[in-house]
Amino acid sequence: MKATIAIDIGGTQMRAAAYPIDSLEPLKVNRIPTQGTRLSPEERLSKLIESVWPEKADVLAIGAAAPGPLNPATGVVLSAPNIPKWENFELQQYIEKKFNTPAQIGNDANLAALGEWKFGAGRGHHHLIYLTISTGIGGGVIVDDRLLVGANGLAGELGHVTVSPGGPYCSCGRRGHLEAVASGPSIVRWVKEELERGMPSKLLSAKPLTPKKIAQAAHEGDELAQAAFERAGTFIGRAIVDFLHIFNPTAVIIGGGVSQVGELLFAPIREALPQYVFGPKYLEDLQILKAALGDDVGLMGALALTRDMLST
């Protein structure tokens, strides 16, 4: 049997799975915490890969979705949030040397776009945008059936476009990025500010205040909670309009934990598009889609990467 191994590396946990080259059903799957007291993250990664290595199978390629800015051409993770030791870390070379198997790495949000395009909501589209709205905001772009990575592998940082000049600080330290006004933590921050200004809401007694509690209150009719998602959705819609002007996709796929609130977020996104778009042609046949792969999007993106490796 011939197989590949897909890995999804997060700041909290790592997942890995072995797949036959002709099936989407994994042979073995496992997950472990990324950090530990005895082993380094890369040593823990090695143990994880060993745990899913299929018996009596020839592993042809290993693909890994990794956090943070990285260069897929050189296989180097430039920096990884929540994995401080991975500064200019040669992840691809580490995996190849450890397992004597061809490997390739990709940015987790970029590979999520690849996974949704190959196996999820983006199937059949040749040009698409993927956005994940969660603790941060990431993205990926498919153009002419190819993942756009840029000269140094840094393309697709869609959460760091400026949508509110002089606005709140982003996690990257700059002001007014999309992530600073529409991510989960930014929604919480805005609600707290409004509560401090005296806005009435049942959320006043919610301690700690979380995106999940705000979503529940919004579904129960709380006006402040609903306004929080309307504000975030409008900013996302404005950013999407810019992406439409630049990339002219036929689909925009939206995933991540915040997207699970559904129409509370999607309705203002759709309403913003005709208000800010340059011309109606950009909206013809455009689909705004919910991501289909859920928590498996990282693994499926890494799987798509391995299959691309074998096809070239």
Tokens of 122: 């983006």
Among candidate residues 8, 22, 58, 108, the one labeled active-site is 108
Query: Is-contact 142 120, C-beta < 8 A?
Result: no
Tokens of 1: 């049997």
Query: Is-contact 58 66, C-beta < 8 A?
Result: no
**C-alpha R_g of the chain:** 20
* Closest among 86, 153, 29 to 95, alpha carbons compared: 86
The string of DSSP letters for 206-267 reads: -SS--HHHHHHHHHTT-HHHHHHHHHHHHHHHHHHHHHHHHH--SEEEEESGGGGGTHHHHH
Instruction: Judge whether 108 counts as a catalytic residue.
Output: yes
Tokens of 211: 């995106």
Query: Is-contact 138 145, C-beta < 8 A?
Result: no
Tokens of 271: 């309403």
| φ, ψ (nearest 5 deg) of residue 3 | -145, 170
Instruction: Give the count of alpha carbons within 13 A of 8, CB side only.
Output: 23
**What is the maximal distance between C-alpha atoms in the chain?**
65
What amino acid occupies position 152?
Answer: N
Report CA torsion sign: 201, 202, 204, 206.
Answer: negative
Q: Where does residue 25 rank: exposed (0-12), middle (13-18), buried (19+ CB within 10 A)?
A: exposed
Q: Which residues are catalytic?
A: 108
